Structure 1
Amino acid sequence: VWHTKLAQSNRDAELRGTWLSTGDMSVYVSHPGPLGHARPPAGYPVVLVAHHAVGVYHATFLREYCDALAAEGYLAVLPDLFHRVWSDQVPTGLGIAIEKMDIKAMLGSQRDADIVADLEATLGLLAANRSLYADTQRVGVLGFCMGGRIAWLGAVNAG
């Protein structure tokens, strides 16, 4: 049900990206190709965007940021790093007030090894989807709020 709401939220906000899945985790992907950027021979450089403490669904600004990065020629991706915690007791935040979100449970669900595995799974998803033309050798990670620490984890655990 929330995936349907999410698709509607993307349309309402006029977002350009699409959602892909690693199997367990949803990943917002904003591609520069449809915006007129010629494909570089090695593929588009990748920017992994690490979300803040309320995740990727509560507000659209991180998806809008990915779209802005794509407009500059980057393949921008926003993985849902809270995917392990979502349940009826811990809702995604889509369409609800921030006060009703269980941010303590969301933050408590984060483990460094899981975060690194999710970043690697995101890169694996990009590499497996050849139609995205991702250059997974040129990857930057940036983050907002707790995403700054996630960016650091990605950098020090780069494989």
Structure 2
Amino acid sequence: MTDMISITTLDGAIMPAYRAVPAGEPKAAIVVIQEIFGINPGIRRKCDTLAEAGYLAIAPDLFWRIEPGISLDPDVAPEMQRALSLMGQFDQDEGIRDIEAAIRFARTEGVAKVGAVGYCLGGRLAYMTAARTDIDASVGYYAVGVDGLLGEKHAIAKPLMLHIAGDDGFVDKDTQAAMHAGLDDHPKVTLHDYPGEDHGFATEFGKRRSEAAASLADQRTTAFFTEYLG
């Protein structure tokens, strides 16, 4: 079952979210953190796939404070430009607080553990979620700007996995090297590199998807969540 729900934020407002519910008792809950394209068909499909695997999946509409209901296609140039503009308006610290509200909501749904998975901007937010919340396990795909967040790595107390696109147009080689230098020895962090792959390689739909790399990354994510969430 899928539906749109309302989550009360930490400041008492109401945030919309997409929810996908498994057929049986959920093994755990996973908060799905959007790209800069909003809760679009790809993010909804990520939630649906997690529900098919037995997880309660919740994707909070993190752009709701700017404009609720954003759903953009990265393969359409004007929509890509709009997405980049929205990212510039987005308050990431406030976004983490909204993710925390989604985590708290998930914990009321009868699950023992809550994880998070994010893509692009959501990959960065997954790292921040690992450092700033009590999330049980987090995964970030092609996270942007993590080199600027390495000062928070000491706060990561639960497992975090990051998938790094080797030829990422938004994460250059120096940034990737800084991620490895800063995180390779962290006992809770695992980094996986995908040589030759560009940003967005694990998207569900559209031109950016790279089937082999997406399948490998998703297999690793599945094994990671099975180990740490159940």
| Equivalent residue for 1:133, pick from 107, 110, 114 | 110
RMSD: 2.4
| Equivalent residue for 1:92, pick from 70, 73, 83 | 70
1:54 maps to a residue whose letter is F
Residue 98 of structure 1: how far off its partner (Å): 5.8
The residue correspondences of 1:79-158 to structure 2 (distance < 5 A) are: 79-86=60-67, 92-93=70-71, 99-100=78-79, 102-128=82-108, 132-135=109-112, 138-158=113-133
1:25 maps to a residue whose letter is M
**Is the aligned partner of 1:52 residue 2:31?**
no
| Equivalent residue for 2:21, pick from 8, 25, 31 | 31
- CA offsets per residue over residues 3-36 of structure 1, 9 Å max, x none? xxxxxxxxxxxxx41111124311111111xx2x
Partner of residue 76, structure 1: 57
Contact 1:44 1:73 (8 Å CA) reproduced: yes
2:70 maps to a residue whose letter is T
Secondary structure of 1:134's match? coil
Distance (whole Å) between structure 2 residues aligned to residue 79 and residue 115 of structure 1: 10
Larger radius of gyration: 2
Distance (whole Å) between structure 1 residues aligned to residue 71 and residue 47 of structure 2: 19
Aligned length: 126
Distance (whole Å) between structure 2 residues aligned to residue 110 and residue 31 of structure 1: 28
- CA offsets per residue over residues 33-84 of structure 1, 9 Å max, x none? xx2x3x3xxx64111111111111xx31211111111111111111111111
> What stretches of structure 1 of length at least 5 have no aligned partner?
1-15
Distance (whole Å) between structure 2 residues aligned to residue 134 and residue 49 of structure 1: 16
Contact 1:26 1:83 (8 Å CA) reproduced: yes
Secondary structure of 1:86's match? coil
1:133 maps to a residue whose letter is G
Secondary structure of 1:85's match? coil
Identity in percent: 27
Partner of residue 5, structure 1: none
Distance (whole Å) between structure 1 residues aligned to residue 91 and residue 44 of structure 2: 24
Residue 145 of structure 1: how far off its partner (Å): 1.5
TM-score by length of 2: 0.49
Partner of residue 67, structure 1: 48
1:143 maps to a residue whose letter is G
Partner of residue 4, structure 1: none
Distance (whole Å) between structure 2 residues aligned to residue 124 and residue 98 of structure 1: 36
> What stretches of structure 2 of length at least 5 have no aligned partner?
8-12, 135-230
